[in-house]
Structure 1
């Protein structure tokens, strides 16, 4: 999970993809954390059940 302080430019996006591959979540600001994190958490919890 990458939390930025504003817009995520292409270079940052490529760096995160190189490090984490497809298992990444990039969030432009902390304010947007709930709307991005909640669906991910739901998918992970449903996968466990």
Structure 2
């Protein structure tokens, strides 16, 4: 899923209000650049 602030104004908080750990997901990697933050979510087994 890609959300570009250039296209959507200030961006969209796609996962706001979701309890990802309760749904079985964890952030396993994140890389910040001047233009974006790349996040990898992995479902726990």
Higher percent of residues as strand: 2
Instruction: Considering Cα pairs closer than 8 Å and 6+ residues apart, tell me whether 1 or 2 has the greater RCO.
Output: 1
What is the TM-score normalised by the length of structure 1?
A: 0.24
Higher percent of residues as helix: 1
